[in-house]
Every structure is written in C-alpha cells, then in structure tokens.
C-alpha cells in the first residue's frame, strides 16, 4: 500500500492546497499472489474520491483490506467546512475543485479516473452531502456515489434568517450557512440543492450516477436521510438505501464501507 501526500496550486481555491492519496500495491507481480483468483487485479484500477465531514480533514478511513482486495485508489482532498460547494467568496470553489480540477489532475498525473466508469465518490456527514451533490453536478464524471450519514440540511438552511437558525446555531452562525449555500430563501430552487439537480437531470433525460445511501437508526441525521430516500423514490430514481443500528461514528462508516465497496467495485 502506497500513501502519498501531494501539494498543488489550485486555481479554484486561489492558493496552494494538498490531498492524500492511497494506492494499493500492484500484486499482479507478487510471486506469492495468485492474480487469477482475484479478477479485480486484472482490470483497470478504479478511483474513489473520499470526502470528509464538518471539522474533518482529508484522510483515508477505508479499511486497507478492501482497497487491496478490490484494487482501487483513494483520493482524500480537504474541503474545510465548505459543504463541498462553491461558496460566495473568492477561493471557496470546493465543488469545482473536486469535480473538475482535482479529477483532471489525478487523470493527467497518475493515469487514474480516466473515465466515468472508473470514477466514484463517497463521503460521510457533510461529505455525504458533498458526495451526492458533486456526483449529481458532474454526472459525466462520476458513475457511482455513496453518501453516508449525510447532512442533508438544505431544508433547514432554507428556513434560516439572521435571527432564527434553529438548532443550527449550535454548529455555526448565519454567515457561515450563507457563505456555503447562498441566500437561504433561494436555496431550494438553486443547484446547491441536490434535489434540484436530480430534477434537472431527469428533465434533461441524463444518466444519473448509481447511488448507495446508508444511515444509522440512532443517528441525529436519520430523518433528513429518510427524507432524501423518499424524494428519490417519489422521482423514480433507482438507488440503494440501508438503515441499521448505529450512530454518527466511525464504526458505522466502516460497516458501510464493508457493505458498499464490494457492490460498487464489482
């Protein structure tokens, strides 16, 4: 397993930034390995872009045995607390950074993520929102997305005003949400709302990415995930949605990876 820390200048972010990358060892040439017993070693390597949650950083939490067995690289950018959206101010174009600039860099530099079928995106919490939204914003780039315990907070944000943030004031102030999502009163009809992107793709008869969702039954974001699941069902969008006992923690996200990676990488 190779672990790389890569620095680059981002035109989207107007500054130097970095990301972590995990690449499995090429076991086809290991004399102790029988490549014919693992068909994943005899196909082009897939690439999974992995998005962290609020207050997190770009790091890989996918179990190593899955990366080795299913032969895929993991790209872990840092999105700060951006919800992986293009913010209002200069230097906060995190959606464009991941969906355009970073994918292009990985393609040209490493020869990975060369086409839609080899390029996937997964995230947890805030990164779950980002994983679904980014895949819907760039359906020609990402063929599969796995939003886990996702912070689908668009409806809460849409009802905000400077004097009324609801429980969201425990996380951040009004200016933060406005920076990420734009004017709250305009959010639900904007393309920062993943539901708007779904409707747009359906209207334009474009192919949507495969969607794999999960949330724990003890997670504080359970109802928001159920609402997104219901929305997708009502609009006839095929997707996998799983609930089981679990909280908003790494134990649940490891379990989600164990369930979804074998399906996504088949």
86 DSSP assignment = B
Domain CATH for 207: 3.40.50.1820
* Nearest alpha carbon to residue 145 among 88, 228, 220, 81: 228
What is the pLDDT at residue 33?
Answer: 57
Per-residue pLDDT at 106 = 98
Within a domain: residue 102?
A: yes
Q: Residue 165 pLDDT > 80, yes or no? A: no
Q: Which residues constitute the domain of residue 256? A: 2-151+194-264
Per-residue pLDDT band for 82 (boundaries 50, 70, 90) equals: very high
Q: Is residue 172 part of a domain?
A: no
Q: Which pTM value belongs to this model?
A: 0.95
Average pLDDT score over the chain: 94
Q: Return all residues near 117 (Cβ < 8 A) that are at least 6 apart.
A: 143
Q: How many domains does the chain have?
A: 1
User: Which residue reads 């969906």 in tokens?
Assistant: 99
């Amino acid at each position: 397993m190779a672990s790389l820390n890569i620095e680059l200048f981002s035109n989207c972010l107007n500054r130097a930034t970095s990301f972590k990358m995990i690449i499995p060892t090429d076991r086809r040439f290991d004399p102790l390995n029988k490549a014919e017993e693992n068909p994943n070693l005899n196909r082009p390597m897939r690439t999974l872009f992995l998005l962290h949650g609020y207050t997190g950083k770009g790091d890989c939490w996918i179990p190593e045995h899955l990366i080795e067995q299913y032969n895929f690289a993991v790209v872990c950018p840092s999105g700060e607390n951006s919800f992986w959206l293009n913010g209002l101010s200069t230097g906060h174009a995190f959606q464009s950074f991941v969906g355009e600039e970073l994918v292009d860099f990985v393609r040209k530099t490493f020869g990975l993520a060369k086409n839609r079928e080899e390029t996937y995106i997964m995230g947890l919490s805030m990164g779950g929102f980002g994983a679904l939204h980014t895949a819907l914003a760039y359906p020609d780039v990402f063929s599969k997305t796995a939003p886990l315990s996702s912070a689908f907070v668009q409806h809460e944000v849409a009802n905000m005003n400077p004097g009324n943030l609801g429980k969201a004031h425990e996380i951040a102030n009004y200016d933060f949400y406005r920076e990420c999502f734009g004017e709250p009163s305009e959010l639900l009809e904007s393309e920062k709302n993943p539901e708007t992107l779904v409707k747009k793709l359906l209207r334009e008869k474009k192919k949507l990415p495969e969607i794999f969702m999960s949330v724990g039954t003890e997670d504080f974001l359970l109802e928001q995930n159920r609402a997104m699941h219901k929305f997708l069902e009502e609009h006839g969008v095929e997707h996998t949605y799983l609930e089981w006992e679990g909280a908003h923690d790494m134990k649940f996200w490891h379990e989600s990876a164990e369930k979804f990676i074998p399906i996504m990488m088949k």
